[in-house]
Amino acid sequence: MLPGFVDTHVHYPQTRIIGRATGPLLRWLEQSVFPEEARFARRPYASAVADEMIDRMLAAGTTCAAIFSSSNPAATEVLLGRLAERGLRGAVGLTLMDVRSPKALSLSRDAAMTACRKLIRRWHQHDDGRLEVAITPRFALSCSRAMLRAAGRLAAEHGLLVQTHIAETEEELAATRAAHRDASDYLDVYDRAGLLGERTVLAHAIHLSPREWDRVRDAGARIAHCPDSNFFLGSGRMPLSEAHDRGILVGLGSDVAAGRSFSMRRAMASAYDNALCLGRSVSLPTLFRMATLDGAGALGLGDRVGSLEAGKDADFVLMRLSEQAKTVEDALAQLVFDNDDLGVEACYVRGQRLS
C-alpha cells in the first residue's frame, strides 16, 4: 500500500502520440504535437482521449496530476467533466497560445481569459478542492507579453496554480531571447508578467543560469522534473542538485507525450539515470518522495495527499511486488527499476476505489 503517485506535468491531448520521434523540441511540436492537439476541436475525440488518459494514469497508480489541456475550451471542459466523474484529483489548465502558433490552436488573449474565467466558475475547487483550474501558458514562445500579463493577473486574482515550461532546449532559449527582448533571461519573462510565485510549477528547467536558480528559490516556485521526456527529445540533463541544494521543491512529471510512459515508476528510473549521467546520483527514497510527497507539495497539496498519514485524504494505491522483496530497500529497488509489469492492483482517492 503506497501513496498514490503524483504526476506534476502531463499533456492530455498528447495521449495518442507517445513515441513520435520527431524531436528535437521545436520540430516535434510542429510536426507531431500541434496537428494532434488540433484534433481536440472535435468533442467526441476529446472525450474518448480523456478516458484513455485516465485509464492509463490509473493503470500506472497515478491518483493526482497537473494536466495541460489543449487550447480548446470545450475540450478542457470535457476533460474536467471526465475527471469529476472518474474521481481523480488534479489541476487542469487551458493551454494558452496566442502567437507563433498554428491558427487552429491560437486563441486571442481576450477569448482565452474569458474561457479561463468560465472554467474557474464551473470547476475550480470542484468537489471540495479535488479539482482545480490552473493557469497554463504553454511557454514563453507561444504567448505574447499581453497574454502572459493577463494570465498572471488572473492567477493572482484567484490564487491559482501556474504551470508552464522553461529552459527545455538551447534552441528554445535562443528563440525566447529573440521574442522577449525586454526580459533579462528566460525566467524573467514569467517573472515580469507576475507568473512567478509559490504556486508556480516550472517544467524542465534544464538550462537555467545560477541567477535564475536563485530566483526560483527566492520566489518559492517549484520544479516539475521530466527526465524521460528530456532523454526522448534530447533536451539535455536537468541538474537536480541545483534545485535540491537550494531547497527547491521538485516533483516528477511524465510529460507525456515527450515522456514515453504515464508511469511515475518509469519517471523515477529515468530521474535516477539522469542524475547518474551528471555524476550526482540520487537515492531511491528521494526518488520515491519526488514521485509522491514532493510532487504533492509542488502542487500545493502536501498537507492533503502524498503520504500515508493520519489526517490526510486516503489517496493510495495497492501494488503487487514480487515475493523476493523482503526489505523496504528491496521493495523500493523493485518499484523504481523492475517495472515491466506496472503491478497496480487498485487506486483509491479519498478512500473511494477508482480502479
Cβ proximity to ligand GUN, 231 vs 348, nearer residue: 231
Q: Residue 98 interacts with ligand GUN (CB under 6 A)?
A: no
| Those residues with Cβ within 8 angstroms of residue 41's Cβ, 6 or more apart along the chain or in another chain | 72, 74, 75, 104
The candidate with the shortest Cα–Cα distance to 355, out of 338, 342, 340, is 342
Q: Residue 172 interacts with Zn ion (CB under 5 A)?
A: no
How many helices and strands (H and E) does the chain possess?
A: 16, 14
- Least Å distance between CB 325 and ligand GUN? 33
Q: Is 255 helix (H, G, I), strand (E, B) or coil?
A: coil
Binding at 124: pick from Zn ion, ligand GUN, none (beta carbon under 5-8 Å per type): none
Q: Are strands 131-133 and 352-353 parallel, antiparallel or unpaired?
A: unpaired
- Least Å distance between CB 321 and Zn ion? 30
Which range touches ligand GUN (CB under 6 A), out of 25-33, 80-88, 261-269, 347-355? 25-33
- How far, in whole angstroms, is CA 336 from its chain's centroid? 20
C-alpha cell at 262: 504515464
Q: Residue 180 interacts with ligand GUN (CB under 6 A)?
A: no
Strand ranges for 84-161 from DSSP E? 89-93, 95-96, 131-133, 136-137
Q: Residue 255 interacts with ligand GUN (CB under 6 A)?
A: yes
Q: Residue 138 interacts with ligand GUN (CB under 6 A)?
A: yes
**Using CB atoms, what's the residue nearest to Zn ion?**
255
| Those residues with Cβ within 8 angstroms of residue 107's Cβ, 6 or more apart along the chain or in another chain | 71, 73, 94, 96, 97, 98, 115
Size, binding site for Zn ion by CB under 5 A: 1
Binding at 33: pick from ligand GUN, Zn ion, none (beta carbon under 5-8 Å per type): ligand GUN
Q: Which amino acid is at 339?
A: N
- Least Å distance between CB 229 and ligand GUN? 5
Find the binder of ligand GUN among 50, 79, 258, 347 (CB under 6 A).
258
Residue with cell 474518448: 48
Find the binder of ligand GUN among 2, 3, 7, 11 (CB under 6 A).
11
Angle formed at CA 196 by CA 199 and CA 349, multiple of 5 degrees: 20
- Least Å distance between CB 210 and ligand GUN? 23
The CA–CA distances, whole Å, from 237 to 175, 269, 271 equal 20, 14, 10
Cβ proximity to ligand GUN, 25 vs 293, nearer residue: 25
- Least Å distance between CB 19 and ligand GUN? 14
- Least Å distance between CB 268 and Zn ion? 18
- How far, in whole angstroms, is CA 23 from its chain's centroid? 19
Bridge partner residues of 238 (DSSP): none
Bridge partner residues of 133 (DSSP): 92
Give the contact letters, 241-280, x = binds to Zn ion (CB under 5 A), - = no: --------------x-------------------------
Residue with cell 528535437: 24
Binding at 8: pick from Zn ion, ligand GUN, none (beta carbon under 5-8 Å per type): none
Cβ proximity to ligand GUN, 2 vs 252, nearer residue: 252
Binding at 168: pick from ligand GUN, Zn ion, none (beta carbon under 5-8 Å per type): ligand GUN
Alpha-carbon gap, residue 209 to 215, rounded angstroms: 10
- Give contact residues for ligand GUN (rule: CB under 6 A): 11, 25, 29, 33, 138-139, 165, 168, 229, 255, 258
Binding site for Zn ion (CB under 5 A): 255
